[in-house]
Structure 1
Amino acid sequence: MAVAVRLAQRPAADELLGRSPLAALVGVLLDERVPLDWAFTAPLLIARRLGTDGLDVRRIAACDPGRFASLCRADPAVHSQPAAMARKVQHLCKALVARYDGEVTGLWAGARSGAEVYDRLLALPGFGPQKSRVFVALLGKRYGIRPEGWREAAGVYGEDGVRLSAADVTGPESLAAVIAARSAMRDGARRARAAATAR
């Protein structure tokens, strides 16, 4: 898997994302409560702080949790909640080692459908329905991995022409559109909660 992506809007980070499925997976995991482009820059920070050219799933899984948390907290922190996200990243990597012998491509290798890829993602630590659908969409739209029914498995994130997730980011303009759409969805959810509380 080596493709050109512009998820992080930073050349070195995007180069890593283009050749490392683990970096892309970690980016989706971290894509909450931080700007989208920063979530996808974080894998490069982790790799550099581990002294490696790319993310090593076994090395992350085996790293001392305290050391890995410190690495994620170092300035600039990889996330607004670095300790919690460090645990999530390690749990994810441990699951990949245990279930797929450390091969992230095992998430889609041999899958007969997009639904099967979705189910494999959903079984990973830190991946609920939304993140699983986003990653299926990311695989299909940006990485060319398109098992039968992948758009259906990705739900709304698999649709053409939407600007809702990392799967739709191809440059600065689409990134801005995704950020605006996500902000509007959050505002709508807040209004809905407020209206429900007022009843």
Structure 2
Amino acid sequence: MVGMALHITGDVGADELLSTDAFALLTGMLLDQQVAMETAFAGPEKIRERLGSIDPATIAAADPEEFVELFRRTPAVHRYPGSMAGRVQALAAAVRDDWGGDASAIWTQGDPTGPEVLRRLLALPGFGEQKAKIFLALLGKQCGLEAAGWREAAGAYGEDGSFRSVADITSPESLARVRATKQAAKAAAKAAKG
């Protein structure tokens, strides 16, 4: 992948995998819910270590029950091993079947615009609007994506200096700023509910 070395997990091996393997990065984004960002994005390295591969075809073909067990091993890949293992396998099958096993084709094939990359991400299993926009911003801000209109398609996540998501994490300091922004947003939402 093109772009800078990612520094999301605090683990050199996990971050190197995210920086060099498009499917690993896509999987980390998929896992980024209901767990700390570092845990989510360290997940692909745990999968690779335990399965021996992060290849979409290998993951898609894995026995579903054995794949869930792989997620459950300590330290767990995710706090919801059953549902998230299934989502990772569904994502792997989509990348294998729809993108020839090449996750980066989602944002490179046919020189797509930012809105087209967003549309492609939204078509993936487990990617809703927010997750797709955050991933698009991550591609643009840190992975060298130059698709026309990516910032606009990513919405607020595409803004520089926003510290809203994983797309803005480049150091321990920026991770702390993203956490503070998220905590403030949660507090504001809770206060609004009364």
Q: The TM-score by the shorter chain falls in which range?
A: over 0.9
Aligned to 1:140: 140
| 3-state SS, counterpart of residue 79 of structure 1 | coil
CA RMSD of aligned residues (A): 1.1
Q: Residue type of the partner of 2:106?
A: L
Structure 1 match to 2:90? 91
Give 1:101's aligned residue: 100
Asked if the contact 1:5–1:18 (Cα under 8 Å) also holds between the matched residues in 2, the reply is yes
Percent identity of the aligned residues? Answer: 47
Kept in 2, the 8 Å contact 1:27–1:43? The answer is yes
Deviation at 1:9, TM superposition (A): 1.4
2-side partners of 1:176 and 1:80: how far apart? 22
Mark the runs of 5 or more structure 1 residues left unpaired by the alignment.
none
1:123-138 matches, cutoff 5 A: 123-138=123-138
Distance 2:155 2:111 in 1: 18
**3-state SS, counterpart of residue 164 of structure 1:** coil
Give the TM-score, by structure 1 length.
0.93
State the partner residue of 1:42.
43
SS in 2 for 1:40: helix
| 2:178 pairs with 1:178 | yes
Q: CA deviation at 1:190?
A: 2.5
CA shift for structure 1 position 189? 2.1
Deviations 1:63-111 (A, max 9, x none): 0100000000110101111111101101111111111111101211224
Structure 2 partner of 1:167: 167
Residue in 2 aligned with 1:51? 52
Deviations 1:3-46 (A, max 9, x none): 41101111010110110011111111111111111111111000
- Greater mean deviation of Cα atoms: 155-164 or 182-191: 182-191
1:191 Cα deviation after fit = 2.6
Q: What residue identity is the alignment partner of 2:180?
A: A
User: Any conservation in 2 of the 1:111–1:117 contact (CA below 8 Å)?
Assistant: no
1:155 aligns with 2:155: yes
Using the alignment, how far apart are the partners of 2:112 and 2:60 within structure 1?
29
Kindly indicate whether residue 8 of structure 2 is the aligned counterpart of residue 7 of structure 1: yes
2:28 corresponds to 1:27: yes
- Judge conservation of contact 1:141–1:168 (CA < 8 Å) in 2: yes
Partner of 1:74: 73
Hey, what does 1:189 align to over in structure 2?
A: 189
CA distance in 2, matches of 1:86, 1:111: 31
SS at match of 2:104: helix
Which amino acid in 2 is paired with 1:31?
Answer: D
Count of paired positions: 192
